[in-house]
Structure 1
């Protein structure tokens, strides 16, 4: 047993070392530890490594699998270590979900859950050590002051070695804090510290190095270095087998490579232009020298011819100027035409986009109309069937009365009509139909009603999805039936009973004075 326990501890150390370096290796040792813990029937180690496995899956992007593992675990309330690891894994799961759903309607929900579980994890975290101050800084990141956040992360760094993963994580988080507060010098300092620490710790996470590459790209300081750093980050993400990090690096890699290649292309273009210009200038100089030497030799003999040539050159220059001006005018016209075409294309794109939005809005409206018509048809059918049942009963009673009177069975008729069994069955049928129709019209009525009541007075539906007497009274008030006598007549209760139900509801309300007014405003849009 001791040998197995020692082996599990060694597995734990290997997993901790491989986690920031290579996901596949870390997962291999996690699975070995789970199998060994299961073999020796150690529930504590089994739970511990299942939690670690869930956290690895969440970091890799397997959110559903991680959540399924955590939901199956039962954590003893007295075991602080397991509770700490469990809440850390849940916070990591929802942090990654928050990042992956950025700019969507689910982002805030996952961030709220992340905050909830990071708060719980801190409750079980050993106080006053480096991990505690790091987690406290993460907790304060979105709601604390920059002074409190920087104090926590600096404290975590002071209690950690510069070549440790926690030191790098604290420095990186601190750089993001200063970046958010537009303190660029401090942001750059801590970002470089985080990148250096990552290299010293031999991890493959490379978050800081990726940010350094982006910073170099944004500031146009050194695109070649930015290209080198982003390629290192991609290599590390491939080695670590982190799909989410790889996708993020690919996105940044495309941006930086495009800028880098564009710079190289511009540089090459300027070199070509310079070479061509120099060659052209040399050709002109050589031609001019040959021309001058030749003209000097023939100067005396051909003065008149030179004069004629000069006049001809002057005429040619004037013609060239006219030609150049005509070409310039043509170029200006082409530029104007190109601009007009661009404006026209942009207008067409905007029109297409507007048409797409209109089609989408029309489709949504059609879906809403179909849903509303379906609900109306269902309600109309239920109302017709209810009326039909009452007509059938009245017709049956009419025939019964006629038959009994004709056979002089008045006493038996009186006894039959006085029976409460039939009345109770009809009332129960009416109430069942009422419950079904009302909940179909207002499916969120119970949930919205509970928002008006105190937490200890919440009302739930019956197991068979029927309204309770209190909910029926509230439903009739919502439909505008506010007189207790009418409510009592509809539900076959006494007015005093209705009064008691209304008093109970009002006394349980958060806003007692305006309770029934607020009640009648529930489910206002369906």
Structure 2
């Protein structure tokens, strides 16, 4: 199960790299044609690279502090922005910062991007914001929501970005195939992924990094020549204008290609480079570090493997990536089991040495020293094991909290759908009723004109009695509908008022009807006056009187009204 989980990480990261390349990586690789700075990491030996990675793993707090400082700068830019165009640019910066750092925040800013794009009236930006949200939903495992979002995007027009659009579908089916059980459904997902990958290859510029990554993925899945992938990827990797995220994508793909060749030394080197680039960004949603931990674990470097997987688990928790939390937990469990086996081996040696002690007194002192050292090692390993178990317990509690939050959200959505259905039903009934009344009124006026003439017709039209009757009927219908949805409204409002101001009736009066309108989200005095057929001054007077009659601070009264369920 653990090996299967690690294979899923690798596969998911390939698909994720390809999708990111279409929107982020090529933006950097097309900006310059050489002339940058040479990457000094490429001159380091494998041991030096691992020591550099050890330093980055240890400096986690400082890297996150700098990342948050950069995020705060962009947030200030967003607050200072005065035009939708500036807000869109600032929100895009914030999304790029959060997309591999905090998934929930990234989703929030992807929603803002669409809002600002709509304010600009820019169809191209609207589609780009939708595609950004799709990628985030896929990474969060919300496949149905991502598919619905993609289906809603018009696949035509000058604002249509075919490369990014096909990339999103490729990412969706790739992820679903990797997480599905082996069988016909998984094969179908892989087939669809291959179709969209071929679609991207048809429309993407062959000089872009995306095209090279697509060809590498095709060879990786179809058993093509990994040497060809290495040649093409090295051509991009040797360029001096690559950004750090670009280098991480290319290095990770090179690690996969060398892994397919069976060259574990080169695979180790490029996985180490990928992990360094990820932590320099810094990114909290990555796969290279846990894969590197697994490779080092199989090579016997347990201490470094444990340090790397612990960092991976901490980052996955901070990123709120449930899938990566589970995968890192499985890896940590495997390493813990190895520690337990190491403890068992030490104990076996200890018993063997104690048996030899009985044969000779001359070796007693040496064996005793060795025994003490072994006991100290065992104690350290047991302490480490206890700490890891405590971390796993905290993780389980965190997952339980997430599940409870999800259940609460589902309940609230169900209630909201019920309220919506009731409103729609009553709105349709009321609309039909007023259409019928208008028809009857028209027939009555026609009869009045034919029977009594124009003077009688004018008197009927000038009479306000029919309008008052309709308003009274409308208010009765409104009260019935509102109290059916909020049956405890009168009781909950009375609890906020002094005894003398409470409503004794089971029906709404004008003041309580005003509060009902506020509960529906209408807070503007002019809109309330128009709805209730009263003057704005009357609305202002009623609101002030109700605030002053409350048992709570006046400024809190209407907030509590809005919270009534």
Give the TM-score taking structure 2 as reference length. 0.46
Considering Cα pairs closer than 8 Å and 6+ residues apart, tell me whether 1 or 2 has the greater RCO: 2
Q: Over alpha carbons, which structure has the higher Rg?
A: 1
Give the TM-score taking structure 1 as reference length. 0.49
